[in-house]
Structure 1
């Protein structure tokens, strides 16, 4: 299949193009690709070189994204491209995001057809960085919508506002990876900038889309009480009912720091709760249930019990607490 023409770019002198999809705004000469490795200059035109090429096609629990307040207990068909527009030195999925990996082709219509099965809620664009897979995500999401399926993006939020606003029209739920509240950390460890990330997350919070946030806690890098408090407060000031996931780091790619101590994650949980967040969770750890279960913010009833990816919907009636009737901030209808 011939790669389709990309969107969001401008021609420049000598056959080069300027990609305007993400804040990098890469200048790409003929025959080369941008930072994301997904968009290529072919004879003076930018094409979506990785259109429809996915590194995986897996039926995952929706909790694995992680999304804890979006159709709990359902599965979702997960796909992702072989590339990313950030270069996080600690990437937990570097073999697919930073290195060349095998891919297979699936058309938007075929993807939607495969997801249209009992027990499957829809499609998740995930694993690496799907937002720079823009043209395919837009087409596949529309194909899913034609079948009344849900769409999810798990993203680093490193995109320009105009294309992101288009995505808001076809994506139902996001989990954003907010890596730190330290601009220097983004520049030195990720090869990006913090402010555009915050802008996109805030934009999503102001939309009808469901939003959850994940922070990978790395020892000695982004785990100080001050940074954790700043992150939690930033979210709480915008919407204290936004679910926040603190995830355990393991040595990977160019980082060899030891795994995050569970005590550090428990401290992060406490800091976030004290900052006013209603729903805080710990991931990639074996912890007691209070760090994984969802409780009613009004009466305290356990609404959803979790053990790993095993889920029991205990006292949830649609999107409300079955015990007291309070809104429990779920998408579950």
Structure 2
């Protein structure tokens, strides 16, 4: 058998890669064929032959590749309320897509089977869709929007970027459901094409953030502020976990941040935790804790607070913050009544920030 040089083998690998993967955007080349990924705030410096924290961006011969471009692990037509987005085209459907991998390693991840994966799983799982095929599918299914969700969309940025531009051109809306750990540069690329965001604010203490996610708090806060200033629609979600982020002082800090830096009309979704992944010994969040968080949000001046992961609770409904009449009645992800009149409360004419057109 003839000897194959290392360079020849690498060239063959690059040829295979070009057929099934895509060179990454937003990275820079370093010395010794290392690269730095500038997509999320980990800013991974990746040696030759290695992958970043997300495991789906790999340095091959000094170039960074996305290993998951167009390789979807899930695509489903969901109520937009499931994202959750309660003030963005309520009652419509979103084609929700996701891949493998994540740039966080949350101990409580409820999608750990797709987010916390091995190299073998990356190679073995997923079905390929071209960007235009996803847009076609969304239109065929009668969806108003495409949601980039299930796992962290930042790590499949190149694909989401291509899909979002086509979707925008064909009259669809784009939704970004994220942990918020993207760089400012990446956010600058996506903001023109994304119409609504739901960002997780998982805690308000740096130590907690780093221990349970592997990330840091400040980049998430920076992303939230930038999105709020952009004028794009924003909703915030906090999964409340017993003994992790459920103290009144921490919940108050989150509510105050939303009120003072994002706006009183930004909806805050407070979700009940259920045992999952590495936190399967922790009990579900007590209802009393969620109600306490609700009152803390109200006392901070937030106008729209919703309790999630508890079916048939009245705190899924939208009330007028001025006259307190019921405007949108929900059960689970379904709307049972909707009484707004041209974007206003029909009882007191108070403008309600719900996007419908």
Q: TM-score interval w.r.t. the shorter chain?
A: over 0.9
Give the superposed CA RMSD.
1.3
20-29 or 123-132, larger mean C-alpha shift = 20-29
**What do residues 188-231 of structure 1 show as CA deviations (whole Å, max 9, x unaligned)?**
11101100100000100011210000000000010000000000
In the alignment, which of 193, 204, 223 is matched to residue 181 of structure 1?
A: 204
The structure with the greater share of residues assigned to helix is 2
Verify: 1:58 aligned to 2:81, yes or no. no
**Aligned mates of 1:123, 1:249 — CA distance in 2:** 26
Map 1:112-151; keep pairs closer than 5 Å.
112-117=135-140, 119-151=142-174
Mapped pair 1:260 → 2:278:
no
Alpha-carbon contact 1:248-1:284 (below 8 Å) kept? yes
Q: How far apart are the structure 2 equivalents of 1:326 and 1:233?
A: 24
User: CA offset at residue 16 of structure 1?
Assistant: 1.3
Match in the other structure for 2:351: 327
Distance 1:24 1:306 in 2: 38
> Rg larger in 1 or in 2?
2
In 2, are the aligned partners of 1:301 and 1:315 still within 8 Å (CA)?
no
Tell me which of 234, 238, 246 is aligned to 1:215: 238
Verify the 8 A CA contact 1:23 1:159 in the aligned structure 2: yes
CA positional deviation for 1:323: 3.2
User: Unpaired segments of 5 or more residues in structure 1?
Assistant: none
- The offset of 1:287, in angstroms, is 4.9
The structure 1 residue matched to 2:111, chosen from 87, 93, 118, is: 93
User: Is the Cα contact below 8 Å between 1:57 and 1:79 reproduced in 2?
Assistant: yes
The DSSP-based 3-state class of the residue aligned with 1:205 is helix
Give 5+ residue unaligned stretches, structure 2: 1-18
Matches within 5 A, 1:1-333: 1-100=19-118, 102-117=125-140, 119-238=142-261, 239-255=263-279, 256-289=281-314, 291-333=315-357
Aligned partners of 1:38 and 1:132 also within 8 Å: yes
Give the structure 1 partner of residue 13 of structure 2.
none
1:215 is paired with a residue whose SS is strand
**In structure 1, C-alpha distance between the alignment counterparts of 2:90 and 2:238, rounded to whole Å:** 21
Mapped to 2, the partners of 1:147 and 1:161 lie a distance apart of 27
Secondary structure (helix, strand or coil) at the match of 1:311 reads: strand
- Worse-matched range after superposition: 29-38 or 139-148: 29-38
The Cα offsets for residues 83-119 of structure 1, whole Å up to 9 and x where unpaired, read as 1101111111111111255311111111111111464
Aligned length: 332
Shift >4 Å, 4+ stretches: none
- So what's the TM-score if we normalise by structure 2? 0.90
**Most deviating of 213-222 and 295-304:** 295-304
The answer (yes or no) to whether the contact 1:180–1:215 under 8 Å persists in 2 is yes
Q: Is the 8 A contact 1:129 1:156 kept in 2?
A: yes
Partners of 1:296 and 1:120 lie apart in 2 by 28
| Cα distance between partner residues in 2 of 1:267 and 1:288 | 15
- Deviation, 1:37, is 1.8
